[in-house]
Structure 1
Amino acid sequence: MPQSAAHTLIDILLDWGVRQVFTCPGSTEAPFLDASVDRPELDVWLTTHELTAVTMADGYARFAGGPPGVAYLHTNVGLVNGLGGMYAAQLGRAPVLVLNGLKAGVIQSRRGFTAPPDVGALAAGNAKWSWQVQRTEHLAEDLSRALQVATNGPPGPVWLGLPEDLVAAPASTVAPAPARSRQVTSGAPAPDQVAAAASALAGARKPLLVAGADLVREDAVDLLVRLAERLGAQVVNEDRRSFERSAFPTGHPCYAGFYADRLPAVRQADVVAFLGARCFHEFEAGSIAAPAAGVTLIHSNADPAEIGKTHGADITLTGDHRLILDQLLTALPADHQPRPTSPADTTEATGPATVTGPDRDGPLSVPEVATALAATVDRRTRIVADATTSNGAFFAHLPQDTPGQLITTSSGALGWGMGAALGVSIARPDDRVVAVVGDGSFQFGAPALWVAARRRLPVTYLMINNGSYAAVAAALRRYGRRAVESGTYPGKDIAGPDFAAISAGYGVPAERVDSAPALAKALDTAADAAGPRFIEVRTDPDDLGP
């Protein structure tokens, strides 16, 4: 039989280094699935929900070191289920290619089964580029373009619509060589802005550096450490609402916690440099104050559209962050002496660790759970955090001394962490992966357990069960009206499911713990397991987070 366009599609993916495709398929994916039989080099990962497929591609892409993560979804109904994952990949600048099997063109024109008009418009707001292949002879060029856009400056998700009849047709073109479009060189920062930034930092009385996720994506964390030491500057991670991955070692003497208006390092700073960070990703209008009047604000980002977006910036830098930081270091005066570094005061940013002892009655506190997990973390442990109101406690208590050791999403897409942890495990098979998820997130992402069990991926799921949508109750508390007056919080209570039993039903060994010693033992057991494990921890339903 002649080679189909689906074979060409797979060959292009293989040429780009792609070895996994994550899919929850339907009938329109038959040509691709059939062609995969002839291409065993491509591992087709079957999932039972599209959110799992996209979040696996996202988690994989963040740690694969080059190849994009690829998800293959089914028509409009599958795409809609995966949009939350696409949005998370967009915020995380993960190079994710979402292939979307569509009905044949004649079915689309008649608005047939699962064939509404302009399916790509559903994806456009969550993608760097969206395009539907128009002709079979254009498929190879369009796919190569999609891969180029997804992986280059800055990376992000791309949507490519693939009508079934075009993918099934005989291949009619030769695939373009990946080397012609694989890498586009990132730009360099403007020299005058580098000089201005170096001068401001060198002359600052209390310089503050904000470490953003771009530094991890562009392998520049070592240069940030050198810059902090040269300046004697304190360093904070991004505000927790925009934090996506750890970008500075928390054990370093310059580390001062997470950016927060009340943090002493923020209050005292006269020059603040947001390096590869967002400034800011607002949760609510006015939730993050502008830096104080008189503070010089420096902002660098891989995406020029991100710079100065919320509060403006005095000095702006864009381009590759290894170039940016290397040029900043070079531009500092040769005789510059670093300021003495003293232990940072982080108490106002993180709050006290509410640990009350292992022998008391009642549920564990979230800081106790975080402390127990922290005791088991080493440099080869990767933490995927998706426990909305509990994330802050884990951010504060977990060591983060390896770049990207802790990753999360600011997308609000519940269920993200369940699949993303599997993608991280595939990309980093020698690392231990722990997914910290809330009970709300679990109910969105539970189908990921089927993949974990079927493929025996050694991911530990640590579920914080507070029996509530605590974020909803926290919003009502901030709103401060009838719910607070009456003590009644509509939309909060989601208690009831036996999560350990659900996990076991998927084939993932599970246990429920309610004490610190039991949790420590369960974590040790999970760390030695060859496959996935699930640990459910009961916490206080009235703990609404920071």
Structure 2
Amino acid sequence: MFLSFPSDIMWKESDAETLPLTDISTNIRGDREAIKAATKSILEASNPVILAGDRIGSTNSISSLVALSELTGAQVYVEHQSAELNFPYTHQHFGGRCLPNGSFIKKVLSEADLVIFAGVISQAPLLYFDEPLVEKGTKRIAIDNSEWQIGKNMHVDIPILGHPHEVLKEIVDETKQHASNENVRTFDITRKRTLAKHRQRTEDLQRQLEESQENDILTPAQVIHELNQHLPENALIVDESVTSGQYVHDYLQLEKPKSFIGLKGGGLGYGMPASLGAQLGRPDQRVVNIIGDGSSLYYIQAIWNAAKHRLPVVFFVINNASYMILKGGLVNMDGEAAKKNFFPGMDLTGPSIDFVSVAKGFGVDAVKVENEEELTTALQQAFSANKPMLLDVTVDSTVKVFLK
């Protein structure tokens, strides 16, 4: 709905009484019969998988989701384009963030005989995918406090409308109450399988990191891993890393609720302004804005406000000297230009952008980083100072395929 008033009406004063807003509580319990049905499905399942979405983080429901995962042994993945921390990344049941493509999501869910969609908002892949994400015959439970989200993109067998924390807590209690010895043994088998997958994922990430360290130039995996080593306990990540985003979710050991703010949707440029708002809103936390060089150019003037209001935000610019998401997209579409390694208008070179000079021009201290030693020194400097600082971190500019 669009409502427009003439300017003369807008400027007029009125002595009309302002009506109070209606405050409707969303802390509602789920339907008891639906909770019983969900419990029955959990007890009958031999390989449940949980997909956690932003409604978990935004409703402070992480603890109850952890309880369900630990009880059943189920592995937990988080939705792509997560805007919240929805499960502790340090937990041994954490399987990682889903990539925003159908083949990856299908692979994650293909072995499950029960999928629990807990507060999931990003239910569909970003690119067209003509196969079902969940195998036929796999039971589906969806939990959310918004009826719009439940069954939005696929059929759900057991929809539960209610506050996620309350619903999950009741399911955990109900499952504990009715679990037989055989159920407990099944949970234990599931848990061992989940822990084995976690060990394999940890080994794969370590191998990926070691391989990237063989390069002469820094890689996104390296710089995010190093950032993780220096993050303060009270860190709040504001993420707009785009093509480096998967490394953020792979190598940052985030575990505290409200320690992550991410991009929901495909728009760019929110990161730097959002980090200022986050620092103002949570002065007891140290905000770190992880952002790509291309994304930073949308509103880089926002950093002047960090200097003006002395907001100690650390701007961590991952600089691959290009709009890499566009290059990867062109390769993904098998474009003719990409076949010739020609990407018109997508390189930020000739001349290169001097982010250090730009930042200093806005009153923010800055440093250029081109190797691991410089990165370590810069991070130590940034987090020891109670002022804003920008790190311009040069990384590998090799074009990779994304979203595939």
Task: Give the structure-1-normalised TM-score.
Answer: 0.65
Of 246, 251, 257, the residue aligned with 2:96 is 257
Q: Answer whether contact 2:328 2:399 (CA < 8 A) is retained.
A: no
2:188 is the alignment partner of 1:339: yes
Residues 189-208 of structure 1 aligned to structure 2 (within 5 Å): 189-208=30-49
Runs of 5+ unmatched residues, structure 2: none
Structure with greater contact order relative to length (CA < 8 Å, sep ≥ 6) = 2
Of 206, 215, 218, the residue aligned with 2:56 is 215
The one-character-per-residue Cα deviations of 1:191-246 (angstroms, maximum 9, x if unpaired) are: 222222111112211111112111111111111111111212111111x2x32221
Does the C-alpha gap of structure 1 residues 427 and 489 become closer, same or farther in structure 2, counting only changes over 3 Å? same
Query: Which amino acid in the other structure matches residue 212 of structure 1?
Result: G
2:179 is the alignment partner of 1:325: no
Give 1:413 shift.
1.5
Structural RMSD (CA): 2.5
Of 359, 364, 370, the residue aligned with 1:503 is 359
Of 227, 235, 256, the residue aligned with 1:402 is 256
Give 1:510 shift.
0.5
Secondary structure of the residue that 2:367 maps to in structure 1? strand
Partners of 2:310 and 2:89 lie apart in 1 by 32
The answer for the alignment partner of 2:157 in structure 1 is: 314
Residues 257-336 of structure 1 aligned to structure 2 (within 5 Å): 257-259=96-98, 261-262=103-104, 266-278=109-121, 280-286=123-129, 289-336=132-179
Does the C-alpha gap of structure 1 residues 331 and 458 become closer, same or farther in structure 2, counting only changes over 3 Å? same
Does the C-alpha gap of structure 1 residues 538 and 279 become closer, same or farther in structure 2, counting only changes over 3 Å? closer
The answer for the alignment partner of 1:526 in structure 2 is: 382
Give 1:463 shift.
0.2
Secondary structure of the residue that 2:264 maps to in structure 1? coil
The answer for the alignment partner of 1:174 in structure 2 is: 17
Does the C-alpha gap of structure 1 residues 356 and 234 become closer, same or farther in structure 2, counting only changes over 3 Å? closer
Partners of 1:418 and 1:230 lie apart in 2 by 40
2:68 is the alignment partner of 1:227: yes
Does the C-alpha gap of structure 1 residues 378 and 274 become closer, same or farther in structure 2, counting only changes over 3 Å? farther
Q: Answer whether contact 2:84 2:262 (CA < 8 A) is retained.
A: yes
Partners of 1:288 and 1:252 lie apart in 2 by 31
Partners of 1:344 and 1:165 lie apart in 2 by 68
Query: Which amino acid in the other structure matches residue 529 of structure 1?
Result: A
The answer for the alignment partner of 1:475 in structure 2 is: 329
Q: Answer whether contact 1:194 1:324 (CA < 8 A) is retained.
A: yes
Partners of 1:478 and 1:532 lie apart in 2 by 37
The one-character-per-residue Cα deviations of 1:404-449 (angstroms, maximum 9, x if unpaired) are: 3222113222111111111111111111110001111111021211
Partners of 1:344 and 1:524 lie apart in 2 by 35
The answer for the alignment partner of 1:108 in structure 2 is: none
Residues 20-99 of structure 1 aligned to structure 2 (within 5 Å): none
Give 1:533 shift.
0.5
The one-character-per-residue Cα deviations of 1:28-47 (angstroms, maximum 9, x if unpaired) are: xxxxxxxxxxxxxxxxxxxx
Query: Which amino acid in the other structure matches residue 154 of structure 2?
Result: H
Runs of 5+ unmatched residues, structure 1: 1-123, 125-129, 135-162
Does the C-alpha gap of structure 1 residues 435 and 219 become closer, same or farther in structure 2, counting only changes over 3 Å? same
Give 1:367 shift.
0.1
Q: Answer whether contact 2:356 2:367 (CA < 8 A) is retained.
A: yes
The answer for the alignment partner of 1:544 in structure 2 is: 400
The answer for the alignment partner of 1:423 in structure 2 is: 277
Does the C-alpha gap of structure 1 residues 543 and 278 become closer, same or farther in structure 2, counting only changes over 3 Å? same
Moved more, 448-457 or 487-496: 487-496
Does the C-alpha gap of structure 1 residues 185 and 513 become closer, same or farther in structure 2, counting only changes over 3 Å? closer
Task: Give the structure-2-normalised TM-score.
Answer: 0.87
2:342 is the alignment partner of 1:493: no
Q: How many residues align?
A: 384
Partners of 2:125 and 2:62 lie apart in 1 by 25
2:81 is the alignment partner of 1:248: no
Give 1:252 shift.
1.6
Query: Which amino acid in the other structure matches residue 408 of structure 1?
Result: G
- Give the % identical residues: 26
The answer for the alignment partner of 2:312 in structure 1 is: 458
Secondary structure of the residue that 2:278 maps to in structure 1? helix
Q: Answer whether contact 1:301 1:307 (CA < 8 A) is retained.
A: yes
Moved more, 478-487 or 423-432: 478-487
